[in-house]
Amino acid sequence: MQDFLPKVFCYVDEFNLSDLSKLSKNINIIYRNYTNIDHTDHLIKIKAFCKKSNNKLYLSNNIKMSIKLGLDGVYIPSLNKQINYCGSFNLPKNFKIIGSAHNLKEIIIKSKQGCEEIFLSPIFKSKKSKKFLGIIKFNLINISSKKNLIALGGINQKNYKRIRLLKSKGFASISWAKKNGLRDLRPF
């Protein structure tokens, strides 16, 4: 019997119904689009889709818009280093703050920002970065930080079973989840 179901996150940058409909119901969606200034219409469509399919929706780096639209939370990327980023806002009851980091110093910053879960990347080798943490470094950082860490970066069909070796609460994907939808994966 499976006693641990990992949290799964997928990054999207537009409302594409064919990509979103591939995703299974237990996948959380993070909307991040740094090029399009006014993306309210995309967010409203994705929010309606998530409500029908029971997916949680997080908006990247815009806490004010996330609260205004009644989303499930906000995602603070590693490039945002403001310590009091969420301090001046009155947060709704079930509102979650999640963020990403690349090292222990950035994990401390995300803790001060109030992040409940922190994405640590890159775990495996990827096209974007030649440097990666690997399983041992990820686990050492997880033990020393005592935070809920999520694996991010380089996860694909070949190495997703290695995630079981990580002391992680889940994993996140940018391109791989949209490509195959993760519907065919069995629980770890």
Give 127-163 pLDDT, tens digit per residue: 777 788 888 888 888 888 878 899 888 887 788 778 7
Average pLDDT, the chain: 83
Cβ(11)–Cβ(172) below 8 Å:
yes
Instruction: Provide the whole-model pTM.
Output: 0.86
Q: Which residues contact 126 (CB under 8 A, 6 or more apart)?
A: 132, 153, 154
Q: Can you give the pLDDT at residue 186?
A: 45
3-state secondary structure 8-25: EEEEECCCCHHHHHHCCC
pLDDT for residue 179: 63
Residue 58: predicted pLDDT: 95
Helix axes 134-145, 104-112, angle to 10 degrees: 40
Q: What is the pLDDT of residues 20-75, one digit of tens each?
A: 887 777 789 999 987 767 788 889 999 999 999 888 999 999 899 999 999 999 99
Range from 3-12, 55-64, 88-97, 154-163 carrying the lowest mean pLDDT: 3-12
pLDDT for 97 equals 94
CA distance 78 to 59: 14
Given pLDDT bands bounded at 50, 70 and 90, which one contains residue 96? Answer: very high
Q: Round to whole Å and give the CA distance between 181 and 184.
A: 8
| Predicted confidence (pLDDT) per residue in 158-184, tens digit | 887 787 888 888 888 877 665 665 554
CATH superfamily of 7-180: Aldolase class I (3.20.20.70)
- Residue 187 corresponds to which tokens in the numbers above? 């629980």
Q: What percent of the chain has pLDDT over 90?
A: 31
